[in-house]
Amino acid sequence: MSKIIHVVGARPNFMKIAPVIEAINASAARKGRSVTQILVHTGQHYTPEMSSLMFEQLGLPTPDYNLDVGSGGHGQQTGRIMEAFEQVLLKEQPDLVVVVGDVNSTIACALDAKKMNIPVAHIEAGLRSFDREMPEEINRILTDAISDYLFTTEESARMNLVGEGIDGGKIFFVGNTMIDTLLKHKDAAKSRPILKQLNLIDGNHNTQAYGLVTLHRPSNVDKVEPLKELLSCLAELSKDLPLVMPIHPRTKANIEKFNLMHLIESGNFLLIEPQGYLDFICLLSNAKLILSDSGGIQEEATVLGVPCLTLRENTERPITISEGTNTLVGNNPNAIVKAFNSALTKDFSEKRPKYWDGSAAQRIAEILLTHLA
């Protein structure tokens, strides 16, 4: 019998790990293998929309362990995760720990496992923004450096890893498990009533034109000047295209802290609470365009054929630019306005980079079960 621990902590992790658990179960059943899978939720994201509702909608099993670490500074949060996860490893003695993405839970649990000589698999390895001021970039580099299995979503990731001295035999180009989840749930998302609930459906049952905004990066929202400039720019754009904004808790707190709510009120914004997965994909797929500083949304927008303006100076997902619908615009208002006007006049279609085909998790399952054997 093999025992695998999967770690999730933040909202994007849930979409990436759900198909992997399902694929390992299916592959093990076909092979007549006995595999125990244990799900550990660190509790890094803990509001219902960011956690429990996601588990329900994605069909994830109830976590076997919830570490309930909550929010905090990077060192504080990472330390709490390591302390709690070490006890899980001591109790369960797994054969493998699977981590995903680039959040604090990813590096914390990978470090714990390696210090106990437990192999680590990193899903979404090799992505690089080349901006070491991003906490996520540090998490990516360190996690990849100690992982035994590195599963990549795009071909540039292999070049990054080899350039950092990673043994090529550890690297497996499998595709994007986040897209596995998107393709599986896309039709169900279309039938959600969220557009009607937000009065985005007119009397003729047509969807009204709107843009979708998400902001949460510290570089954009944790200091008053960049946040003020962004909100001022978005307020002007909203007069041409209404903007729906599911507001991140930290962004909301900073808008209030910096007394910037008047900028929201001066524009045509529809502020809503963070949404569950299906409702958010419904909003995403029906938007005229997206303005976001997220990583995963760049990928989802590409597959859905929706133009995405990324409000950052860099991206760790270059394939969404070269083969997708993404445009990197930074947070300069003039650049944002120019890209906004250009995106509204272009026609985009759905894009499927190599291996973004709904079978990435199946490839991962086959590799892991072969090696565990």
Catalytic residues: 216
Q: How far apart are the first and last CA of the chain?
A: 9
Q: In what order do the strands lie in the sheet with 289-292?
A: 269-272, 243-246, 211-214, 289-292, 308-310, 326-328
In one letter, which amino acid is 144?
Answer: D
Give the Cα separation of 105 and 100 in Å (integer): 9
Give residue 189's identity as a one-letter amino acid code.
Answer: A
What is the rounded CA–CA span in Å between residue 109 and residue 117?
A: 12
> Whole-angstrom Cα distance, residue 46 to residue 64?
16
Give the CA angle between residues 11, 300, 54 to the nearest 5°. 30
Pairing of strands 171-173, 326-328: unpaired
Instruction: Say how far apart CA 35 and CA 1 lie, in whole Å.
Output: 6
What are the backbone angles phi and psi of residue 270, rounded to the nearest 5°? -115, 95
Q: Which two tokens stand for residue 307?
A: 């133009």
Instruction: Please check whether residue 307 is in contact with residue 327, taking contact to mean a CB–CB distance below 8 angstroms.
Output: yes
CA distances from 232 to 163, 170, 218, 224 (A): 41, 47, 18, 12
* CA 326/CA 329 separation, integer angstroms: 9
3-state secondary structure of 189: helix
